[in-house]
Chain A
Amino acid sequence: DAKTTQPPSMDCAEGRAANLPCNHSTISGNEYVYWYRQIHSQGPQYIIHGLKNNETNEMASLIITEDRKSSTLILPHATLRDTAVYYCIVRPSTTGNQFYFGTGTSLTVIP
């Protein structure tokens, strides 16, 4: 799995968009970008994943650069409940093996 780099922490004002960056400069052509988050004392929660096109679902948007070396997770209107550690992971979208979770970005949404 390609290594990812994320800032250790970020703050965001409630109601504003939270933009969480991730660098994955060694990503391979068959590797997807996944985002999970972990709210304190809970198991990780799947958010979104994509290969090269931008993706959007009810939780977030994922913007992947054309060269696929970096991506940004966007929470369009952050709420206090979005305070969590956000993990960016790259791996082939096939069954098998594990997800390599790094230390992620600790997002704090400020009232």
Chain B
Amino acid sequence: GAGVSQSPSNKVTEKGKDVELRCDPISGHTALYWYRQRLGQGLEFLIYFQGNSAPDKSGLPSDRFSAERTGESVSTLTIQRTQQEDSAVYLCASSPGTPQYFGPGTRLTVL
């Protein structure tokens, strides 16, 4: 079956612009996670959605970052006024409980 998909696969933007990243989870997965991975580093948790519960936003690095999820489907991660340090691969994962299944990521480059 279809796995987690993310779009775009690559995004190049200018400093100060807003970007929106999309994640389509596996159908039926109630949990959805966003992570950030800087070059050569491990994964950094950003935000977690579980069903209709309030999301766990404890990993968002600043108020420029926000995410939404409609029910148990698509999620979007928005970064406002992008900075060069936002350059990274942004990974989405979905889960029916355990384990997590990851998408291919969106590589964001802020010039």
Which residues of B from 50 to 104 have beta carbons under 8 Å from A? 50, 56, 59, 91, 93, 95, 97-104
Task: Give the size of the chain A interface in residues (CB under 8 angstroms).
Answer: 22
Assess whether A30 is interfacial by the CB under 8 Å rule.
Answer: no
Is there an interface contact between B42 and A95, defined as CB atoms closer than 8 Å?
A: no
User: With A43-B104, A96-B50 given, is the CB distance from A49 to B33 under 8 Å?
Assistant: no
Is there an interface contact between A95 and B91, defined as CB atoms closer than 8 Å?
A: no
Tell me the complex Cα distance, A101–B48, Å. Answer: 15
Which B residue's beta carbon lies closest to that of A99?
A: B100
Which B residue's beta carbon lies closest to that of A103?
A: B42
Assess whether B105 is interfacial by the CB under 8 Å rule.
Answer: yes
Is there an interface contact between B48 and A98, defined as CB atoms closer than 8 Å?
A: yes
Which B residue's beta carbon lies closest to that of A43?
A: B102
User: With A44-B91, A101-B43, A103-B42 given, is the CB distance from A95 to B98 under 8 Å?
Assistant: yes
Q: How many A-B residue pairs have CB under 8 A?
A: 55
Q: How far is the CB of B33 from the nearest CB of chain A, in Å?
A: 6
Is there an interface contact between A49 and B99, defined as CB atoms closer than 8 Å?
A: yes
Which A residue's beta carbon lies closest to that of B33?
A: A98
Is the interface on chain B under 10, 10 to 19, 20 to 34, or 35 or more residues?
Answer: 20 to 34
Measured between beta carbons, the chain B residues less than 8 angstroms from A32 are 98
Q: How far is the CB of A71 from the nearest CB of chain B, in Å?
A: 16
Indicate the member of B4, B48, B99, B104 with the most A CB atoms within 10 Å: B99
Measured between beta carbons, the chain A residues less than 8 angstroms from B35 are 98, 101
Is there an interface contact between A46 and B31, defined as CB atoms closer than 8 Å?
A: no
Is there an interface contact between B43 and A95, defined as CB atoms closer than 8 Å?
A: no
Is there an interface contact between B30 and A95, defined as CB atoms closer than 8 Å?
A: yes
Is there an interface contact between A44 and B102, defined as CB atoms closer than 8 Å?
A: yes
Q: Hey, which bits of chain B sit against chain A, CB under 8 A?
A: 4, 30-31, 33, 35, 41-43, 45, 48, 50, 56, 59, 91, 93, 95, 97-105
> Please, could you name 13 A-B residue pairs with CB atoms under 8 Å apart, sorted by A?
A46-B101, A49-B99, A93-B98, A95-B30, A95-B50, A95-B97, A96-B31, A96-B48, A96-B50, A98-B33, A101-B42, A103-B42, A104-B42
